[in-house]
Structure 1
Amino acid sequence: MKVTSFDVAKAAGVSQSTVSRALRGDPSIGAETVRRVAAVAAELDYVPSERARDLSTRSTRRIAMVVDLDNPLWALLVRRLYDQLAERDYRLTLVAGHGDTQNIESQVAGGGVDGVILSTVSLDSSLPALLRRRGVPAVLLHRYVEGTELDSCVADNRAGGAAAARMLLRAGHRRIGALLGPATTSTGRDREAGFRGLLAEAGVELDETLVRYGRFDFDHGRESVPALMEGAAPPTALFCANDIIALGAMNSAHELGLRVPGDLAVIGFDDLEQAAWPTVALSTVHVPFDDMLHSAVTLLGERIGGWSGAGRLVIHPVTPVERGTHGPNDTGRSV
């Protein structure tokens, strides 16, 4: 027969409600009572019911994360977020950001979770404002939307775009192309703005015929390079709005028989684990994802705990990482 909290209460000489509060760490229960209840529970091999605990505390102990399943970055974020939430006794629920809008809203705003982390919002997304209106604790991670009054944890994408441009200029490049992300996202917009801004300050014009926009995916990089390199005046270097695009561009360059960086320099953004592989050695911009996740979980925990102040924007600094793909051109072509 399954042992219940009533059995523990009887053996410990306390009420059933005292057992529940003692085992969930309620500070109103004395230390001696907590020790006695814990000892009896261990002796009887009692396992608390999560459902009963959730009902008694009006908490689901679940955090929903809205992700873009088409963006390979989500797997990195989810793995690390799962560990950080587990340390705080929360479980992670994934919601696909490209699904039906009403279905997404019902999953994250219907009371089935304690809080929401949004990592896939576009600049015109209505979901952040909806969560704010309904009083659902939420935080924007990696991307943000102005005016929503939600907490946001992002990287300094403008500074990162500028750092990428600076690395290419220092390597001697002047004819530079760019494989940019969607302008409908804060990451795409801000990385582009930082990159263009630094080039303009240096007096280097970005030839619009060498600019391509696309998704933050491998195919964007792989499919864009052939057309750029077949032109009358191809670029000597490419800024890619994330590492996945850069990997696609490097793969395409290899298929075309081009050397990286000898024929075409490439620089990415994010500093994924693959970027540091010796066979890749991608020059990139490091984004401190662990720090961003920690900030997001901390801010969300404060919201769940009842903090109701104005929305906070936490911008984490980025760092240029010089590896082997952004070096000078050695073909004799004008750089």
Structure 2
Amino acid sequence: MGSRKVTSFDVAERAGVSQATVSRALRRDPSIGAETVRKVLDAARALDYVPSARARALSTGATQRIAMVVDLDNPLWSLLVGRLHDELASRGYRLTLLAGHGDPADVEEHLIGGGVDGVIVSTARIDSALPATLRRRGVPAVLLHRYVEGSDLDAAVADDRAGGAAAAQLLLDAGHRRIGALLGPEDTSTGRDRAAGFRTRLAEADVELPDAWVRTGAFEQAHGAESLAAVLRGRRRPTALFCANDIIAIGAMNAAHAAGVRVPDDLALVGFDDLESAAWPILSLTTIRVPFADMLRTAVTLLLERIGGFDGGGRRVLHPVTPVLRATHPLPSPDSAVSSAGAGRRGSP
């Protein structure tokens, strides 16, 4: 189409329908059949068409609706969506949730019709194509909790690398030298940065992190529960574990209890995030606090500035994290199930 602006008539010609049908299909008018909607969306995507409805919304704020792309299977976001809803409501916007664990094309189809003023993406993985698609289509968007390297979208994130280092320091300060880790997914900025900070601080302290004491997996309780037995399998075991989030740590604690492993006497644990449940007396989990409320407010502010016309380069706002000392990381117990005989600063499994 050259440099000429693509119009709904171009989409209609490519899809083999009328311009009026294009308009109704993009509005998801129930009078338009599913196959016709699919043809219109395919044509619009192929032409990089930005509907005039979106242009009006961006200039007038007519929809007053923000979409959040979220993994609804992740219990972290089920706890935080309410806070985001309230933050948006206080600024005159409504929240729409889009499940991000399915086909990325489905997410784009929900956004192409101009039904929202902007998008918050909380599910981005390192190789995610959605941020670039949103930027290319001129959709105001912000990344929350995770970022994508090289993306020109704004991002509100925690200092995960510093948090990983702080978790290592907590265990070092408690006297632990045989330390393992249940890390998060390597294709997320949170999993990658927390692991990098943790590994770097241990290396600086000349403390080895043996491969046999490390497992990588999803940010889920199942990862903590299933991985605990693996890292405790050898004759010599770690006396402490860093868990890349509280949900993993809770899974590990449950598995430890079932196996008769005492936390923290036999095994100290440090989590990450500081979910409300981490402070429950039955858990009293030492963790790294992420200021989620501050991050949510920052994400909304960045997004509304984009909707209001700010067109500068991508901004990444890094929020500091804070260690929270509770009951799961004391000194190694002298009568631990793990013998300390022969253990030096650089232990091995």
2-structure distance, mates of 1:78, 1:329: 39
Structure 1 residues 305 and 57 mapped into 2: Cα distance closer, same or farther (>3 Å)? closer
Which has the higher mean CA deviation after the structures are superposed, 325-334 or 219-228? 325-334
Partner residue in 2 for 1:187:
190
AA partner of residue 147 (structure 1): G
Which residue of structure 1 aligns with residue 13 of structure 2? Answer: none
Q: How far does residue 76 in structure 1 lie from its aligned partner after superposition?
A: 2.0
C-alpha distance in 2, partners of 1:58/1:292?
Answer: 23
How far apart, CA to CA, are the structure 2 residues paired with 1:248 and 1:328?
Answer: 22
Pairing 1:110-149 to 2, within 5 Å after superposition: 110-149=113-152
Q: Which residue of 1 is the match for residue 224 of structure 2? A: 221
Q: How is 1:1-335 mapped onto 2 (pairs within 5 angstroms)? A: 57=60, 59-330=62-333, 331-332=335-336, 333-334=339-340
What is the CA–CA distance in structure 2 between the aligned matches of 1:192 and 1:177, rounded to whole Å? 11
* AA at the equivalent of 1:142: H
Is the contact made by 1:109 and 1:131 (CA closer than 8 Å) also made in structure 2? no
CA distance in 2, matches of 1:70, 1:82: 18
Give the CA deviation at 1:228. 1.7
2:285 aligned counterpart, secondary structure: coil
Work out the number of aligned pairs and report it: 283
The C-alpha deviation readout for 1:127-153, integer Å capped at 9, x for no partner, is 000000111000000000011110000
- Deviation per residue, 1:243-276 (Å, 9 max, x gap): 0000000000000111110001011000000001
TM-score, length of structure 2 as denominator length: 0.79
Aligned counterparts of 2:113 and 2:217: Cα–Cα separation in 1: 34
Question: After the TM superposition, which parts of structure 1 deviate over 4 Å for at least 4 consecutive aligned residues?
Answer: 53-58
Give 1:327 shift: 1.0
TM-score if structure 1 supplies the norm length? 0.82
Identity %: 68
CA distance in 1, matches of 2:59, 2:251: 51
Separation of aligned partners in 1, 2:266 and 2:281: 19
Structure 2 SS opposite 1:329: coil
Secondary structure of the corresponding residue to residue 314 of structure 2: coil
- The one-letter code of the counterpart of 2:227 is S
CA separation of 1:55 and 1:285: change in aligned 2, threshold 3 A: closer
Instruction: Name the CA shift for 1:260/1:132 in 2 (closer, same or farther; >3 Å).
Output: same
Please report how far the alpha carbon of residue 63 of structure 1 lies from its aligned counterpart in structure 2 after TM superposition: 0.4
Q: Determine the C-alpha separation between the residues in 1 that align with 2:185 and 2:262.
A: 28
**Mapped partners of 2:232, 2:316: distance in 1:** 40
List runs of 5+ in structure 1 lacking aligned partners. Answer: 1-52
Between the aligned partners of 1:313 and 1:298, the Cα distance in structure 2 is 12
